[in-house]
Amino acid sequence: MDAISVIRIKRDRGELTPEQIDWVIDAYTRGEVADEQMSALAMAILLNGMNRAEIARWTAAMIASGERMDFSSLSRPTADKHSTGGVGDKITLPLAPLVAACGAAVPQLSGRGLGHTGGTLDKLESIPGWRALLSNDEMLDVLDTTGAVICAAGDGLAPADKKLYALRDVTGTVEAIPLIASSIMSKKIAEGTGSLVLDVKVGSGAFMKTVEDARELASTMVGLGTDHGVKTVALLTDMATPLGLTAGNALEVRESVEVLAGGGPADVVELTLALAREMLDAAGIKDADPAKALADGSAMDVWRRMIAAQGGDPDAALPVAREQHVVTAPRSGVLTRLDAYGIGVAAWRLGAGRARKEDPVQAGAGIELHAKPGDTVAAGAPLLTLHTDTPEKFDYALKSLDGAYDIAPAGTAYEATPVVLERIA
């Protein structure tokens, strides 16, 4: 077989055979298929799609490219969560220790930023000393001693996905449903978790812009998980507006700690609790109350142990960007729209994300929101604060905020969109 023939089949809207899929994944993992060839194939998949049989085989080939983990030695049932990515989506940070505090083990394999969406590992690496890269033995030890671990997938776990994940970020192919589904599920199935809750984002700041597309992705992933013996459920959640009041790495860690301390923005708390309840139910834990674990400090205790177990200092000061720029409200009234995509792109341009897979990110870069849709704002009052170490980026970031918010006359009625839109099981 050869890469060009495989590319042409999908370019011409054909169906790849199981043998072709197995070969191209294996050859790409070994370096026989070049990045530019896999980029062309990924774009053809984005444009022309894959059927259910192709997606299932692609996922199986990704799993077969590496090892599979085993958590059967743990005394707790395992439950994991995955988000398809959004703006201000720091939910994993308070969620993993919260679910662990309620009796489940949470082996959370997370990723880095993709495009305008933030990455959990990028956020946690803003904590001095914290390590994302753990060996399998280290991961199991942290999981066993603290109940939760958040780390990068090891080199042996779905290595094909690790290469393709980084490539998609810089080739405009992140949004391909077959590639999203197979990327997520290959890692989660190979990871060995007993149950999985999917947070599928919908709206301008998500890769799935419509409920229909999000429902298709969620259903595909639930089917893949179920077929591999992993109890899987999905929530469709709103991403038209950023989650919480921050978008950026250290900024989001700070907000997550506020949630674990019993405070934080209402939407972040609501979604954290909704996902926690789904994870605990999927793991068969029926009598735990995650709201109580937030209120009594037990989730915070797990967070501190988890961060320390991975080399981090939970008491250390978080990085702060050297420069700030305040965007003020141009007029008084009711903020009726704050576009998640515009905020996400601005944060990315400020240095919170990466343009190339090898780029570093700025720990302190990002955006603070001083109001959310439904809030009353006054002319001249702070609306957003932009943070970066490189002030020459401000003008570029501000361009993405043109038209990113609407302010209606005072007294305008505003109806909030629910945080959780649908449940698919």
Tell me the catalytic residues.
Answer: 82, 161, 168, 183, 187
| Four-residue CA torsion sign, 339, 268, 196, 420 | negative
DSSP state of 393: G
What is d(CA 54, CA 398) in angstroms, rounded to the nearest whole number? 42
Q: Is 374 left (phi over 0), alpha (psi -120 to 50) or beta?
A: left
Q: Of all helices (H) and strands (E), which one includes residue 384?
A: strand 382-388
What is d(CA 289, CA 267) in angstroms, rounded to the nearest whole number? 18
Contacts of 63 (CB under 8 A, 6+ apart): 158, 186, 189, 190
Question: Is the CB of residue 87 less than 8 Å from the CB of residue 133?
Answer: no
Structure tokens at 186: 């290959």
Contacts of 216 (CB under 8 A, 6+ apart): 177
Distances (CA, A) of 406 to 274, 301, 330: 29, 40, 10
Question: Is the CB of residue 321 less than 8 Å from the CB of residue 389?
Answer: yes
| Four-residue CA torsion sign, 186, 221, 276, 72 | negative
Contacts of 343 (CB under 8 A, 6+ apart): 87, 88, 205, 242, 247, 367, 369, 384, 401, 404
